A = this chain, B = another copy of it.
Amino acid sequence: MNRIPPSVVLERLERLFVGLGFAPGRASLAARLFAEASIDGVASHGLNRVPRFVRQVRAGLVDPAAEPTLVEACGAWERWHGGHGAGSLNAWASAARAIELARRHGIGCVGLAHTNHWMRGGAYGWQAADAGCALLAWTNTMPNMAPWGAADPAVGNNPLVVAVPRDGGHVVVDMAMSQFSYGRLDTFARSQTPTPVPGGWDAEGRLTTDPAAVTASGRVVPTGYWKGSALAVVLDLLAVACSGGRATRDIPRDPELEGGMSQVFIAIDVARAASAGDTASRIAAVIEELASVPSLDSSAPVRYPGERALQARRENLERGVPVDDDVWREICRLN
């Protein structure tokens, strides 16, 4: 594991992206979003994903010049076409537009069709919360999870992001509808550690904590079993309805080809209510109380959603961006 100064990571990524055809400002934002994911402790959707992203741009699946274009405005809800541009830049622009709509209408919704993997969804939660807005956002994915009661991967694990602004650290949930991502399962497998709760089914259909057995069968367990499966289905349909774009079943089932997703960004300008001050105090009290709940493991206090990211951010900005040796070597070679 290397630690690289943030400025070095940013400069190298920016140069890489400009070389791929991204305009300088856009290259800079894309670089920042990859770096910040690793800085916040989410390397799986940060620097680890850069090589695949570069392959997808070079293969013509991600268009470095494409920006979202407005398809239809229905007041505070708008439909945008992502033009198969970079998923992170499209998502950032769409969240920004949802925030603008929320400023004008109290709540705003952007449905974004024909975009690509948004990388770390939590980034848009932090973006909205930094602007004083709450955010509900989700994306569909390629089919990668079996619906409840079946073995064939016919639904996506469709990540959901919910963010609420708070002084002293926003509250941000960023969760896929599978209990563990495939990246997480690989991490467990490499360290020969069982998953802390069942991660999926083995080839014989038995629920198991053996990460390698789950990866081999491809049968991850949905978050909350039938519940995560149901939520994945309805979020897929709602993404289609809001964006006019594709459903999970229309997305190529190959991580290298996965593209053309549908996403939704709903922002609420919660700070503009007359009693926003009272509300902020109530929110602060909930988070304070959570920190005071006795923990079952004295070495691991009870955390609020987003707290771990903030802790990682503080540490990594000071000590350097943590990056896997092989990943950094590959990124350096890509230039």
A105 to B109, CA, bound (A): 10
Total count of chain A residues near the partner, CB < 8 A? 87
A107 to chain B, nearest CB (A): 4
**For the complex, what is the distance from the CA of A207 to the CA of B197, rounded to whole Å?**
10
Measured CB to CB, the closest approach of chain B to A105, in angstroms, equals 4
CA–CA, A109 and B231, complex, Å: 21
CA of A301 to CA of B147 in the docked complex: distance in angstroms?
11
Within A250-308, which residues are at the interface with B (CB < 8 Å)? 250, 266, 268-270, 272-275, 278-279, 282-283, 285-286, 289-290, 293-297, 300-305
- Are A241 and B270 interface neighbours, CB within 8 A? yes
Q: Is the CB of B149 within 8 A of A224?
A: no
Q: How far is the CA of A73 from the CA of B274 in the complex (A)?
A: 10
Is A205 positioned at the interface, with any CB of B under 8 Å from its CB? Answer: yes
Which segment of A24-32, A56-64, A85-93, A232-240 sits at the interface?
A232-240
A74 within 8 A of B: yes
Oligomeric state, in number of copies? 2
Which residues in B have their C-beta under 8 angstroms from that of A237?
164, 166, 171, 283, 286
A234 to chain B, nearest CB (A): 5
**What is the bound-complex CA distance between A274 and B250, given in angstroms?**
21
Closest to A301 in B: B149
What CA separation (Å) do A290 and B155 show in the bound complex? Answer: 9
In whole angstroms, what is the CA distance A294 to B205 when docked? 14
Identity of the chain B residue whose Cβ is nearest the Cβ of A165 in the assembled complex: B241
Instruction: List chain A positions with a Cβ less than 8 A from chain B.
Output: 72-79, 104-109, 134, 136, 146-152, 154-155, 162-164, 166, 171-173, 175, 179, 196-197, 205, 207, 223-225, 227-228, 230-231, 233-238, 240-242, 244, 246-250, 266, 268-270, 272-275, 278-279, 282-283, 285-286, 289-290, 293-297, 300-305
Known: A171-B237, A175-B231, A223-B224. 11 other contacts (CB 8 A): A75-B105, A134-B238, A148-B302, A149-B297, A154-B289, A172-B234, A224-B227, A242-B270, A244-B275, A246-B282, A248-B286
